[in-house]
Chains A and B, each alone.
Chain A
Amino acid sequence: MKWRFLEEKIFRAVMIIATSLTALILILIIGTVVVKGFKALKLEMIFRLPQGGYYFGREGGILNSIIGSLQLAGGATILAFFFSLPIVFYLNYFSKSKSIWPTLIRFSLDVLWGVPSIVYGAFGFLLMTWFGWTASLLLGIITLALLEIPIMSRAMDEVLKLVPPDLLEASFSLGATKFETAWKVVIRQALPGILTAILIAFGRAIGDAASVLLTAGYTDNITTSLFQPVASLPLAIFFQLGTPYPEVQQRAYAAAIILTLIILLISYLSRRITRRYAKHLVF
């Protein structure tokens, strides 16, 4: 047999092995979580707050953590979006072509993307001690937003690079300014990608334990003020796994199932919304 065909066969085998190994690991992780947590997964968990003795395996649920996580990640995502959008507009349309800033900013964002989240947590903690604040929802949101900005803006940046220059010219030639073009044409064209970027950032924030550990605190109640501590699912999982009681550990896995479901649901919804707008895309 000719080497070219053998090469093709080998490469095909490598592709299949790599893909199926990854899929297998994913299935194992989700499988473990589901098997271990399924017994503890009751409606009570989603609709009730922790009751007395919850951490010893008694009554209650993790409503506080579910709502807290949505507050934290939702707030951080909105905050991060209001920073990321101007950043990518600047990088792609408003920077001077010979300026060194875009390169520097992209490099810094890439570095920040790789910074471990505990470092963001430590930075938030530092802010807290400097200003004499206490752990709160607001500080958690700020810290998570810092974690999200590099992810969101670099992901959106890559999307905006794909918007065809001819489309911009079409808008400019009608007398539109750069901002009008970016706001009314580019955002529409890049919407699916922008939503994906937001989603990736949201997913990262809602699943992160280290940055909220020191900054957002924890509470058994639902937080109604930006200045109170707030519970979160990753920390709920972390605390419950750390107990020596098997029933409580089971609940940690149940909480993990809920966290996964939330991400799945939001991912599904945003895709549905994207599809409604995607019909207008010109490519």
Chain B
Amino acid sequence: MSLIIGRPHISLKNLNVYYGHLQVLKNITLDIPDRQITVIIGPSGCGKTTLLKTLNRLLDSVEGVRVEGRVLVDGEDIYSPGVEVTRIRKKMGLLSQRPQVLPMSIYDNVAYGPRIHGLKNKQQLDQIVERYLRIAGLWDEVKDRLSEPASRLSLGQQQRLCLARGLAVEPEIILGDEPTSALDPQSSQNVEKCLLSLKSQYTVLLVTHILRQARRIADYIVFLYLGEIVEHGPAQEVLNNPRDPRTKAYLSGEIS
């Protein structure tokens, strides 16, 4: 049973991705449900990150990459010629493995996105910075030192700052590439809590190799193995009653 409530937010149709002659993603067809947390699990090197980068076209800048097939976001093929890459990327906030703050103050990090998209009004910027720092659960910790360099924050705080920065451009989708892998347990929990509170308004797509994390937050699970989708479905179903022997093997720790 491939149960999706409502229309899918992102649809992949026969997606193939090649690095030179090496095929990294093989014939991926997948619907990602709207406003739920979809978690992609799978051993390292199975193409999880590539899949994520295909969605916001960050793959464009990598040398020798070829993308075939269709990626529909809100029904629009984002790889069709004439599509503005910046508009596609604005729809998706990205959390990377290591938090990557920009070389500027805490305030400027959050205001960076709105500013490049044309917002100049100081009052509105102030509001945006406060609103999204609050959503990311960082406001109380940084409200008195907004002009300090973002690089002085702890890693956990930096990741939440990155979340606030991503949300500030008002995306519809949040992409997370193992966003807690560089963080301590407490910070990881904070980030997870944030993501759970955000799913009522955003479609969240998360890559992780931590099974427990998938169990804690996933609504929908995709198991990727050697560039192929082995199994996908509602989280409880895939995690508790996997159908494919490879999924069983991965969940029980035999493949890692």
Contact = CB atoms under 8 A, between A and B. Distances in A.
Interface stretch (A56-64, A101-109, A164-172, A255-263): A164-172
Contact of A175 (B61, B149, B151, B169): B169
Interface string A220-262: 0000000000000000000000000000000000000000000
Interface in A77-121: 97-98
A177 B116 CA distance: 9
Interface string A142-170: 00000000000000000000001011111
A177 B86 contact: yes
B100 A282 contact: yes
Interface in B106-133: 112-113, 116-117
Contacts of B112: 171, 174, 176, 184
Interface residues on A, range: 20 to 34
B117 to A, nearest CB: 7
Given A180-B116, A281-B151, A173 B166 contact: yes
Contact of A166 (B87, B100, B117, B166): B100
B102 interface: yes
A164 to B, nearest CB: 8
A279 interface: yes
A107 B87 CA distance: 37
A175 B102 contact: no
Contacts of A36: none
A97 B92 CA distance: 26
Contacts, number: 83
Which of B93, B98, B103 lies at the interface centre, i.e. has the most chain A CB atoms within 10 A of its CB? Answer: B103
Contacts of B117: 175
A166 B99 CA distance: 9
B105 A175 contact: no
Given A175-B117, A180-B116, A280-B149, A170 B90 contact: no
B104 interface: yes
B89 A175 contact: yes
A174 B103 contact: no
A169 B96 contact: yes
B58 A280 contact: no
A164 B100 CA distance: 10
Given A169-B58, A173-B93, A279-B149, A97 B86 contact: no
Nearest to B162: A170
B169 A169 contact: no
Contacts of B36: none
B56 interface: yes
Nearest to B117: A175
A271 interface: no
A189 interface: yes
B80 to A, nearest CB: 18
B101 interface: yes
A175 B100 contact: no
Contact of A188 (B58, B103, B113): B103
B151 A280 contact: yes
A281 B150 CA distance: 9
A175 B56 CA distance: 10
Contacts of A280: 103-105, 149-151
Contacts of A164: 100
A168 B166 CA distance: 14
A195 interface: no
A199 interface: no
Given A175-B169, A188-B104, A282-B102, A170 B96 contact: yes
Interface of A: 97-98, 164, 166-177, 180, 184-185, 188-189, 279-282
14 contacts: A98-B63, A169-B61, A171-B102, A172-B61, A173-B58, A173-B94, A173-B166, A174-B112, A175-B86, A176-B112, A177-B86, A188-B103, A188-B104, A280-B149
Given A166-B100, A188-B104, 13 more contacts: A166-B98, A167-B100, A167-B103, A170-B94, A173-B94, A175-B87, A180-B116, A185-B102, A279-B149, A280-B151, A281-B103, A281-B151, A282-B151
